[in-house]
Structure 1
Amino acid sequence: MDCRNEIRKFIMENLSIDEDNVKLGDDDNYFELRFVNSLFAMKLVNFVEQSFEIEIDNDELDLKNFSTINNIMTLIDKKTVNKRN
């Protein structure tokens, strides 16, 4: 499974709404759409760190970095490029 699908699966499994037909695009802000709650943000950070073996720095704990699948992918790409260098 690729990174993007892993992230999407995690988000879909943790939605705080009871709809089975939710479609979530890569640029949809699930916080603004109220698909998730505040506890989800902490779970998401932990999921990203564990799943992709990166450490999120305090200055990166900005909701914007975690508000869409594409933003998470950008953060992961940045962290893994830095990790390789």
Structure 2
Amino acid sequence: MNQAKTQIKNFISRFITTHDLQEDEDIFTLGFINSMFAMQLVLFLEQEFKITIENEDLDFDNFRTINAMASFIERKLSETVLVR
């Protein structure tokens, strides 16, 4: 999961250059996210981690923090393993 956190932070840091985002900081509350970036973030997570983010997964709580995203990815990856 630490590698996932690093990958997520590196991606976000390309767009948020004025703040050193911590793993537990809420990117929505901080005002760093607009709808365009939210879509880029979803696409990045799908492509980078080879997961499919369904409509029911589009809950703010899955994407608020780096920690939340890493946990979400871990859950999605474990679902993929269980399905196979």
TM-score by length of 2: 0.87
- The aligned amino acid for 1:23 is D
Give the equivalent residue in structure 2 for 1:30. Answer: 27
Q: How many residues align?
A: 81
- The aligned amino acid for 2:80 is K
- The aligned amino acid for 1:56 is I
1:25-71 deviation digits (Å, cap 9, x = unpaired):
11101111012322111000000000000001110111221111011
Contact 1:14 1:36 in 2 (8 A): no
Q: Whole-Å Cα distance in 2 between the matches of residues 39 and 64 of structure 1?
A: 18
Contact 1:28 1:68 in 2 (8 A): yes
State the identity as a percent: 38
Quick one: higher RCO (CA 8 Å, sep 6+), 1 or 2?
2
Contact 1:65 1:72 in 2 (8 A): yes
- The aligned amino acid for 1:47 is F
RMSD: 1.5
For structure 1, which runs of at least 5 residues remain unmatched after alignment?
A: none
Q: Whole-Å Cα distance in 2 between the matches of residues 36 and 56 of structure 1?
A: 18
Q: Whole-Å Cα distance in 2 between the matches of residues 34 and 27 of structure 1?
A: 15
Query: Secondary structure at 2:52's aligned position in 1?
Result: coil
TM-score by length of 1: 0.86
Give the equivalent residue in structure 2 for 1:6. Answer: 7
